[in-house]
Amino acid sequence: MTDSVAACGDNSRDNAITAQIAKALTEATGLLRRPQRVVPLIQRLVSDKLRVTFEQRHLYSYATTKRSSGDALNSLLRWILDAQRPDGGIAAYYGLLTGYSESYPEVTGYIVPTLYDCARTTGDDDAVVAVERATQWLLSLQMSMGAFPAGLHGGLHGDAKQPSVFNTGQILQGLVRAHVETNRPEILQAAVAAGDWLVRMQHADGSWSGPAAYQNVAHTYYSMVAWALAELSERAANRRHGCSDHEHSLSYGRPAERNLDWVLSHFRPGGWIDGINLRGHPNYLHFIAYALQGALECAILRRRSDAIEAVAKSSWVLLRKFETNKFLPGAFEPDFKNGQRFTCLTGNAQMSCVWLRLFEVTDDLRYLNAALKMNEMLKPLIPARGRRGIFGGVSGSYPIWGRYQPLRYLSWGNKFFADALLLEQRLTRSFAASAFEALPCAS
């Protein structure tokens, strides 16, 4: 998630309360409008209750499943394709009470790289068609200042909408990748405009706050925006006319590192990251993982070993918790204390991605080991049957009534779990090949 699904970017407290009441009413009336939704709702509630009651976790064991990663990946992709709305955007979620939400610009943006990777791996042409439609829709949303709007699609139009730093960063990820894949100049132009706006909005200390930031305050999980700028610097900006590679690296790379430094200043010695700063919400694993993932990817692109070490330290704390307890709590109090009993599946999938990337850059097999087990744990929680919106969906929480996005299947959950499985496939293949080559008899 998403600055906006929680409170739609409202600035005043009154508006936030009104939005919460409206959201609760919409959810409550969802079943009245479509009573047939009660069947899958009860099915999932019962199945999660049974699973929670009977599952056993032991120090020497881990969850296993016969479901292959390829099969899970196909169903995750199918869910994403089903969630594409007629306008080309991807819905934020499928609610067991309310059905599909409207298109969600932020997720539509950063799901673009996932769709390209899925298309390449699975050979699914539908994914290519979907990602091209999604990109076209994104281009139509860009505001004249270069930013992208907050919240779900609908309501206000054009520049009357509130621009959002986080959403612009997340969409920038998608634009950069779409340009790399298609080489279309208008996509590069849009990406550069978004990057320029982000740089203009950045404070001298490297953070983003003010009206274009969620709840007006700076957040460490905006490291995802730094990652997007680093991507722009690395992959696309050097194709812009009239500018040298070095100049582009400075234009977007330095702001990315400025934010990275600001984020790193919030890492505590024990690994905890301050500055998640979400009033009215606990420190969900999803946001902790965002902060880690953004910092790690930015650090890799900018070759910052100090930042990789800091992320590795925090990730190791979470890895130990996962290995000992066999799940990661959905939310924590500072210093990773008092983990809540439910699991945030998106956060779990994100941590799998972080561990896999750490394995890639450090060669420490314990990260790969934890990620393999994490993916194994997540696979059976993806419905292998069910109607559109349910089949292949990653729920917000497990059990589904947990505090993070209850009773919903989330497009960003699908995105991160698909990313984790794609990374798993790539890294296990290359490890198996390199391990074979390293053996004395392999020649």
The interface with other proteins within residues 82-141 (CB under 8 A) comprises none
Q: Does 370 bind other proteins (CB under 8 A)?
A: yes
Tokens 């009773």 belong to residue? 407
Q: How many residues bind other proteins (CB under 8 A)?
A: 27
Render 399-420 in DSSP notation, one character per residue: STTSSSSTTEEEHHHHHHHHHH
Q: Which stretch binds other proteins (CB under 8 A): 53-61, 130-138, 263-271, 348-356?
A: 53-61
Q: Does 365 bind other proteins (CB under 8 A)?
A: yes
Q: Is 268 helix (H, G, I), strand (E, B) or coil?
A: coil
b/e 66-87 (16+ beta carbons within 10 angstroms → b): eeebeebbbbbbbbbbbbbbeb
Q: Does 60 bind other proteins (CB under 8 A)?
A: yes
| Among 26, 122, 136, 369, contact with other proteins (rule: CB under 8 A) | 369
The interface with other proteins within residues 312-351 (CB under 8 A) comprises 316, 320, 323
Distance between CA atoms of 165 and 3, rounded to whole angstroms?
Answer: 10
Give least dist CB 300 to other proteins, A.
22
Tokens 């939704």 belong to residue? 37
| Among 372, 400, 420, 422, contact with other proteins (rule: CB under 8 A) | 372
Q: Does 64 bind other proteins (CB under 8 A)?
A: yes
Beta strands in 41-111 (DSSP E): 93-95, 99-100
Nearer to other proteins, 62 or 391 (CB): 62
Q: Does 433 bind other proteins (CB under 8 A)?
A: no
Nearer to other proteins, 129 or 317 (CB): 317
Beta strands in 129-178 (DSSP E): 148-149, 163-164
Distance between CA atoms of 281 and 217, rounded to whole angstroms?
Answer: 14
| Among 59, 66, 123, 144, contact with other proteins (rule: CB under 8 A) | 59
Q: Does 401 bind other proteins (CB under 8 A)?
A: no
Q: Are 227 and 301 in contact (CB under 8 A)?
A: yes
Distance between CA atoms of 413 and 396, rounded to whole angstroms?
Answer: 7
Backbone angles phi, psi at 13, to 5 degrees: -65, -40
- What residue type is 366 in one-letter code? R
Residue 343, H or E segment:
strand 343-344
| Among 20, 249, 425, 428, contact with other proteins (rule: CB under 8 A) | 428
Give least dist CB 433 to other proteins, A.
11
Residues that bind other proteins (CB under 8 A): 56, 58-62, 64, 316, 320, 323, 365-366, 368-370, 372-373, 376, 428, 431-432, 435-436, 439-442
